[in-house]
Amino acid sequence: MTRTAIPYLIGAFPLAMLGIFFLGPLAFMVVVSFFERDPLGFYNVAFVWDNYAKFFSSFYYTVSMRSLWSASLGSLLVVLLAFPAMYIIVDLHRRWQLFWAILLLSLMCLSEVIIGFAWLILFSENSGIPKFLGWVGLWDEPRSLSPSFGAMLVGFVTLGFSLVALMFYPGMAQRDRSIEEAALTLGTPPARVFTKVVLPNFMPAIISSLVTMFVYFLGVFVMPTMLGRPQDWNMTVIITDKAVGDANMPLGAALSVIMLIFTLIIIGGLMLASRRGAKS
């Protein structure tokens, strides 16, 4: 075996795993999306467009737009909170940096179900935040804060905050502070230094984090079902309901393919915009 063949053999294994565990199931999903539903089973082999045509009904179209909106808003809130938080943390004493890093890593160890149940208890009327506010006299008639769209967004932020913050940590900790210090020495307010110096330098990382969280929140299942109302459910919940609850695998596959196409278009647009911004 020659040395030149070794890198190809090493690269063949991850490519094989990609084909087996991603491209293969994806191709099968695309094929099934054209099949007919069998009320007595999963599907009948056929080639029809009915499953895709159902997407253009008002229900599925509304759910799709709502999914895109909730994922976009959730990713934006996570980045808006995590970026300035990490900007402050990296300038703390080393001991406090270690404390926050361990805390964020610990939050990442919690599953989506645990986080959802925790917020479900905190938002409940009998044992959570509403009861505490009523006890101290700040809420005359406390009621449960979930299910609601706001509670679902809180779950999104909790789920993605630690991940985004740790994504920013290496770049923030190793950044060149000389430009910021020079601007502060010349009398520039700290807020202006943050918006005019720090933000432009980290714009590629910010866009990357937004895209990552957007894709992540599109596929979240537990938070919408536990903390959201039926009118807040995203397409992931609806796809699961159709494919598993109604045993309509072709329709669930077709909806999955459409959401995948939407996601790729949005990601491509954001990446193209970021490249043009970097060139300019």
* Domain span including residue 195: 57-279
What's the CATH number where 229 sits? 1.10.3720.10
Instruction: Quote the pLDDT of residue 41.
Output: 67
Tell me the angle at which helices 249-279 and 203-218 cross, rounded to the nearest 10 degrees.
170
Q: How many domains does the chain have?
A: 1
Taking Cα atoms as reference points, which of 94, 106, 76 lies closest to residue 166?
A: 106
Residue 221 is assigned to a structural domain of this protein: yes
35 lies in some domain: no
Residue-wise pLDDT for 94-111, tens only, equals 899 899 988 998 888 888
What is the token pair recorded at 79?
Answer: 């980045």
Q: Is residue 80 in a domain?
A: yes
- Given this model, what pLDDT does residue 151 score? 93
Least confident of 54-58, 114-118, 221-225: 54-58
Is 39 within the bounds of a domain?
no
DSSP 109: T
User: Which long-range contacts does 72-76 make (Cβ < 8 Å, 24+ apart)?
Assistant: 72/214, 73/153, 74/153, 74/156, 74/157, 74/160, 74/213, 74/217, 75/160, 75/209, 75/210, 75/211, 75/212, 75/213, 75/214, 75/216, 75/217, 76/210
Please report the pLDDT score of residue 57 as a whole number.
84
Contact indicator for 188, 269 with CB cutoff of 8 Å? no
Predicted confidence (pLDDT) per residue in 226-273, tens digit? 999 999 999 999 998 888 888 888 988 999 998 888 888 888 887 777
Prior bond of 147 cis (ω within 30°): yes
Is residue 56 classed exposed, middle or buried when 0-12, 13-18 and 19+ CB atoms within 10 A define those classes? exposed
What is residue 243's predicted lDDT score, i.e. its pLDDT? 83
Query: Please, what is the average pLDDT of the chain?
Result: 86
Whether 267 is in a domain gets the answer yes
Total-model pTM: 0.84
135-184: pLDDT as tens digits? 888 888 888 888 899 999 999 999 999 999 999 998 888 888 888 888 88
Asked if residue 208 belongs to a domain, the reply is yes
Residue 195 is inside which H or E element, if any?
none
Q: How far apart are CA 167 and CA 165, in angstroms?
A: 5
Q: What are phi and psi of 107, to 5 degrees?
A: -65, -35
Q: What is the pLDDT of residues 194-215, one digit of tens each?
A: 888 888 888 888 988 998 899 8
**Which residues partner with 4 through β-bridges?**
none
Higher pLDDT, 35 or 3: 35
CA angle 265, 269, 272 (to 5 degrees): 135
DSSP reduced 3-state for 187: coil
Q: Assess if residue 4 is contained within a domain.
A: no
List C-alpha distances in Å: 227 to 63, 66, 151, 166: 17, 16, 6, 25
Whether 49 is covered by a domain: the verdict is: no
Residue that is written with structure tokens 């270690």 in the block = 98
